[in-house]
Structure 1
């Protein structure tokens, strides 16, 4: 009642509820109160955190982070994702109230959350964020925080206003149609720069980070992944910023507002026509729904235009509106598919590529512009070592990789394998140390040190892995409709090393929609009546609530 249904703690003491529940409580000799429920929630949250900690243990894992604002409270959401028993598992680690959105502060919050779960930062395989500059920089700070190289203004973007990149854009979610689309509260800064300026800066930063990797040996496996759903939103908004489109949308929006007036409702109902929804500026999906609804009302508008000139639109404008609808339709379908919580990298690139191909077929000015924007933004979206390594292990789509991308992916997998092997050696050494304390065989200790320093075995292991990758790449492509998890269940004996790696890399989340849904739950829990809810209790509530919701799926 408190966690899943969002009722206040004191609702357990409401007179109406107690009239119904007291006979039951007395029968079992148990009379609950608000404080008792609160203490039980805290204990339950501690128990669930321990379950999650034990479930992950020393394994590699992926993170998804995002921030939002509710009742003037800035909140950071952190989800963890990994594979267990051939299934992708998602857990909520924290909903934390933040005082600052600066990257250094966000990094410290992430570290504190990981410490709470006894999770090691070196076990983070990837972090998925939106395209906000502060989030991208947070990932970089986490990646290089243990380096001896000082990361200063020469290597990183200090101006965190650079590409907030429509940071107030909300990742679309399928919703039931309401009378009004509620506009989300803005997240982050309003400052921004032109995309071309940002990309120039970003290219310089990426070059400098490559220099850092070269200096420190590139031993950290952590990579950043941009949210594919958010990137698609930005691609479409790039197109909708066109002045001609803004003009036609403004006209459409004004007509829709008139059609939604009470005096129009009877006439619309007589023609069995639904009133069109009004859109929210930051949700292009709602703009698509508005266009679709208005096009269904075209006949009504043409009939009523002589009596009400405000709903008149000429044939050319109707034609432009239809062109816009057709151009946006493939992206709308792709956006819906990207809402799946368990998308693998292969699934994501398939959705993205199909969207581009289907949009190209429309072949009008708007569709060509959408394709251009998507192809421009996909360069940064898919330019990630973790994504390339995951795509390499997806036998349905790895044919899409270029030779250079295959080399990058192989290098990343070899580096990951080195870390796994090093963990295995460390675990063996820790076990051996227990017996060595009894025998004090100093020669054996010295021989083991030589063994640790000898690279021949490591080189042989790396070569064996590379040979396995080469054999793997020669196999025929699997069908698109097959589940990659089922595919790897078949291959685990034939490619044992790659199977171990697949359990890590295929857990890579390519969107952060589960964090967006987490914020929807926060909106439900942190209602107007509970706006002053203690931040620690809010965190406990969300951890317990999301754990049970994810387990139901």
Structure 2
């Protein structure tokens, strides 16, 4: 026996088995939805006819309360409404919702959440004139604002000498390539994000360089304008920069040959003249990421046999300190828990060794009964020296992760 169709939204649709489509019967709509799935029908009502969904939900709550003899919260609580005047324009309200889903990273579905609707609905009614905010029109608004911001950025970057910053990241089986641009505006460095583009193929140098060229073309930026590219030390990233450098060199050579046949135009605007004077005969430069370079330098130092042996012994002690019986004793004595590092993240190695130094007296007291916690005086001294050596590098790494960093800042740090 089949299931009963209990979704209340079906009453607003007529289903035609021949075409396998459900037609919306709401006056003035007439939209056709493939299939007869209740969730799809309800989603249409939620997006296009929100007032019907609200009325249906209210009726259902009242019907359920009447059948069970229960009272709703509104009926029990005696409300004393206090009306407030909110000085807000429709544009400001739209911008606030837009900021929620962009800057604050909230999902579009927040516009349909019951708690948020209790804030929005009174404002919509007060504004009137058919003003509505929902997940659909906010999604469309994001696209419109993005196009406007992109056009403004195209005008800003026209004819400027720029520096690119590229980096990739992978999370939950999805890889993206972030492309940022830096340029000088007066006496300050300006940083703008051009794109965060998903990578759908193998991360080869040629594929990465093609993605970069697509983004530059989208913003009408010629490789002639790019003075340098900052990337990490990955072989594919460095080769991608070399590929772009070769393309730029070829382009510049073709322009030089063309200039020999035609006279240069002296009426061009100043930024282009500046670019011509700087990059004449210039080939795009690769700048290694300072943070990644420092990471590799520290990793090389930690691979030293003496250091790696000390860290290995410290890691065994830390793992023993994390066993349930020892953790219970640590907690009873008011000590902090030990930290076990991730070997590929030397920051965590520094934190592990630093915490071990704090727990040295506990380890010395417990070592007669728990032999795994024993370390000799020389080993404790070695651990302390490694912590002292890593601490400046850790502080420096945090500092060079700032948004704006120059070569002078890096060497100063």
TM-score scaled by structure 1? Answer: 0.48
Q: How many angstroms apart in 2 are the aligned matches of 1:333 and 1:7?
A: 32
Map 1:98-247; keep pairs closer than 5 Å.
98=199, 99-147=201-249, 219-247=281-309
Distance 1:73 1:220 in 2: 36
Write the deviation string for residues 15-59 of structure 1: whole angstroms up to 9, x where unpaired: 232234322232223332222121111112112212222222111
Contact 2:224 2:248 in 1 (8 A): no
Task: Name the structure where helix makes up a greater proportion of residues.
Answer: 1
Corresponding residue to 2:142 among 41, 47, 53:
41
Asked if structure 1 preserves the Cα contact closer than 8 Å seen for 2:248 and 2:284, the reply is: no
> How far is the alpha carbon of 1:110 from its aligned partner?
0.6
Alignment of 1:424-443 (within 5 A): none
Aligned partner of 1:58 in structure 2 is 159
Q: Residues 154 and 219 of structure 2 are in contact (CA less than 8 Å); yes or no, is this contact kept in structure 1?
A: yes
Q: Give deviations 1:408-466, integer Å, cap 9, x for gaps.
A: xxxxxxxxxxxxxxxxxxxxxxxxxxxxxxxxxxxxxxxxxxxxxxxxxxxxxxxxxxx
Structure 1 pair 148/41, CA: closer, same or farther in 2 (3 Å)? Answer: closer
Question: How big is each residue's C-alpha offset from its partner over 1:166-212, in whole Å with a ceiling of 9 and x where there is no partner?
Answer: xxxxxxxxxxxxxxxxxxxxxxxxxxxxxxxxxxxxxxxxxxxxxxx
Determine the C-alpha separation between the residues in 2 that align with 1:21 and 1:256: 53
| Aligned equivalents of 1:293, 1:44: Cα separation in 2 | 49
Residues 131 and 227, structure 1, Cα contact 8 Å, conserved in 2: yes
Q: Which runs of 5+ in 2 are unaligned?
A: 1-99, 252-278
TM-superposed deviation, 1:318: 1.2
Aligned with residue 253 of structure 1, among 315, 330, 345: 315
3-state DSSP of counterpart to 1:5: coil
Q: What CA distance in whole angstroms lies between the structure 1 residues aligned with 2:342 and 2:125? A: 51
| Alpha-carbon contact 1:143-1:220 (below 8 Å) kept | no
Q: Name the SS for the 2:197 alignment partner.
A: strand
What secondary structure does 1:268 align onto? helix
User: Aligned partners of 1:22, 1:266: CA distance in 2, in Å?
Assistant: 53
Distance between the aligned counterparts of 2:102 and 2:335, measured in 1?
40
1:144 positional shift:
1.3
Residue-by-residue CA offset, 1:462-498 (whole Å, 9 max, x unaligned): xxxxxxxxxxxxxxxxxxxxxxxxxxxxxxxxxxxxx
Partner residue, 1:75: 176
**Distance (whole Å) between structure 2 residues aligned to residue 264 and residue 19 of structure 1:** 51
- State the secondary structure of the residue aligned to 2:101: coil
**Counterpart position of 1:84:** 185
Write the mapping of 1:260-271 to structure 2, written as runs, cut at 5 A: 260-261=322-323, 263-265=325-327, 267-269=329-331, 271=333
1:345 aligns with 2:407: yes
Q: Measure how far apart 1:131 and its partner are.
A: 0.8
**1:263 CA displacement:** 4.4
Partner SS for 1:112: helix
Larger strand proportion, structure 1 or 2? 2
- SS of match in other structure, 1:145: helix
Task: Output the TM-score relative to the length of structure 2.
Answer: 0.64
Q: Secondary structure at the match of 1:343?
A: coil
Give the number of equivalent residue pairs.
Answer: 284
SS of the aligned residue for 1:119 comes to coil
Contact 1:9-1:37 at 8 Å conserved across structures:
yes
Contact 1:122/1:220 (<8 A) preserved:
no
Is the contact made by 2:249 and 2:282 (CA closer than 8 Å) also made in structure 1?
no
Q: Note the C-alpha offset of 1:123.
A: 0.3
Say if 1:44 and 1:260 are closer, same or farther in 2 by CA, change over 3 A: farther
Q: Is the 8 A contact 2:223 2:248 kept in 1?
A: no
Q: 1:146 to 1:265 in 2, by over 3 A?
A: closer
Counterpart in 2 of 1:401?
A: none
SS at structure 1 position matched to 2:337: coil
Highest RCO, 1 vs 2 (Cα 8 Å, sep ≥ 6): 1
Match of residue 379 from structure 2: 317
1:12 CA drift (Å): 1.3
- How far did residue 147 of structure 1 move? 4.6
Q: Aligned to 1:220, what secondary structure does the other structure show?
A: coil
1:63 match: secondary structure: strand
CA distance in 2, matches of 1:229, 1:246: 22
Per-residue deviation, 1:272: 4.3
| Structural RMSD (CA) | 2.2
1:2 to 2:84 alignment: no
Give the C-alpha shift of residue 88 in structure 1. 1.1
Q: Residues 335 and 4 from structure 1, CA distance in 2 versus in 1: closer, same or farther, beyond 3 angstroms?
A: same
Structure 2 CA distance for partners of 1:298 and 1:108, relative to 1, 3 Å: same
1:310-389 matches, within 5 Å, as 310-351=372-413
